[in-house]
C-alpha cells in the first residue's frame, strides 16, 4: 500500500513566532513542502495546522531548516494516532549517552490503513533497515522477546551521516500497514539490519502507544515534571528525539 492523496490528514504543531512576518514566513515555508495541501497559522496561539499527506517529520525538518523549531501537538482524528520511541539495548557500544535511535509517528486514515512516519538516527552502518510490527509488546529481552512479525514494511535506506557521532547514520521512510491504530497499540515496532531478526542482528525496538489527535493536547506545562512545553522539547532533543 502506498500513500495517496485520499489519505490526507491534519496535524498541529507548536511553533514559536512573534509577528505577522513570522506567520507569513512559516506559511510560505510549509506550503512548499511536498504533500502539504493547506497551512493555517495562528499567531496568537502559536499553533500551525497542516493538512495533507506530508510526513510530520518533513514538516518539522522544513521548519528547522528555516531556523525555527516545532513540537507536534496532535495528529489525525481522536484515537487515531500512535507513537513508538525506538531504543537500543546496548547504549554504550557506540559511546552515545542516549539509547534512542529512532521515532515512529503513526496515524490511521481508515480502518484498514495506518501511515507510519519512521525516522532513524544513529544506526551503525549504511544500508537498508527492515521495519516490522511484532505480535507482542514484550520487550523484556529486547527484540528477541517480541515474537514473530505481524507486519513487515518496505526497507528504509540509511545513508546520511548522523549528528550523534562519526560512523553513525540516519534515514527515514513513510510507510503503511493494513491495521487501525487501536489494533496495534501495545505491540512492538522493531527495526533490524536483517529482514528476519536473529541472534547477532542489529535491532532497535519500541512499544506502540496512543498519542494525541488534533486539538486533543493543549497543555503548556507537563503535569509530571512541571516543565514548560519548550523545556520538555529541550529534554527530548537531548535524548535524540529531534522530529
3 and 174 Cβ atoms separated by less than 8 Å:
yes
**Average pLDDT estimate for 84-104:** 79
User: What are the structural domains of the chain?
Assistant: 5-74 (3.30.70.100), 81-210 (2.60.40.200)
pLDDT in tens, 112-163: 999 999 999 999 999 999 999 999 999 999 999 999 999 999 999 999 998 8
pLDDT in tens, 71-88: 898 898 888 999 999 998
What value does the mean pLDDT of the chain take?
A: 87
Residue 81 CA to residue 182 CA, distance in Å, equals 9
Q: What is the pLDDT of residue 198?
A: 82
In terms of DSSP H, where are the helices of 89-192?
A: 181-184
87 and 26 Cβ atoms separated by less than 8 Å:
no
Q: Name the percent of the chain lying above pLDDT 90.
A: 62
| Helix H or strand E encompassing 176 | strand 169-177
- Give the CA radius of gyration of the chain: 18
Q: What is the pLDDT of residue 200?
A: 82
Phi and psi at 206, nearest 5°, equal: -155, 150
Using DSSP's 3-state secondary structure scheme, residue 107 falls into strand
pTM score, whole prediction: 0.88
Res 236 pLDDT > 70: no
- pLDDT-derived band at 176, boundaries 50, 70, 90: very high
Q: If we measure between CA atoms, which residue out of 124, 117, 190, 118 comes closest to residue 161?
A: 124
pLDDT in tens, 193-224: 998 888 788 999 999 999 866 555 555 544 55
What is the C-alpha end-to-end distance of the chain, expressed in Å?
24
HSE of 29, CA atoms in CB hemisphere, 13 A: 21
Using DSSP's 3-state secondary structure scheme, residue 111 falls into coil
Res 165 pLDDT > 90: no
Res 21 pLDDT > 50: yes
Amino acid at each position: 500500500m502506498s500513500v495517496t492523496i485520499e489519505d490526507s490528514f491534519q496535524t498541529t504543531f507548536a511553533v514559536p513566532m512573534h509577528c505577522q512576518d513570522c506567520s507569513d514566513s512559516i506559511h510560505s515555508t510549509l506550503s512548499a513542502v511536498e504533500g502539504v495541501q493547506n497551512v493555517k497559522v495562528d499567531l496568537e496561539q502559536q499553533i500551525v495546522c497542516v493538512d495533507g499527506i506530508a510526513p510530520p517529520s518533513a514538516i518539522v525538518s522544513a521548519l528547522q531548516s528555516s531556523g525555527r523549531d516545532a513540537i507536534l501537538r496532535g495528529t489525525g482524528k481522536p484515537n487515531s494516532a500512535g507513537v513508538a520511541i525506538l531504543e537500543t539495548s546496548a547504549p554504550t557500544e557506540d559511546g552515545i549517552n542516549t539509547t534512542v535511535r529512532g521515532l515512529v509517528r503513526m496515524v490511521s486514515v481508515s480502518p484498514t490503513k495506518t501511515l507510519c512516519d519512521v525516522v532513524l538516527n544513529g544506526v551503525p552502518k549504511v544500508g537498508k533497515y527492515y521495519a516490522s510490527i511484532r505480535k507482542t509488546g514484550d520487550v523484556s529481552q529486547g527484540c528477541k522477546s517480541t515474537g514473530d512479525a505481524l507486519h513487515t514494511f518496505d526497507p528504509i535506506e540509511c545513508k546520511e551521516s548522523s549528528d550523534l557521532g562519526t560512523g553513525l547514520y540516519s534515514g527515514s521512510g513513510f510507510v503503511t500497514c493494513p491495521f487501525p491504530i487501536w489494533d496495534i497499540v501495545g505491540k512492538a515496532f522493531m527495526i533490524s539490519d536483517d529482514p528476519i531478526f536473529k541472534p547477532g542482528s542489529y535491532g532497535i525496538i519500541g512499544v506502540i502507544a496512543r498519542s494525541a489527535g488534533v486539538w486533543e493536547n493543549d497543555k503548556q506545562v507537563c503535569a509530571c515534571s512541571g516543565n514548560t512545553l519548550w523545556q520538555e522539547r529541550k529534554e527530548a532533543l537531548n535524548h535524540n528525539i529531534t522530529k
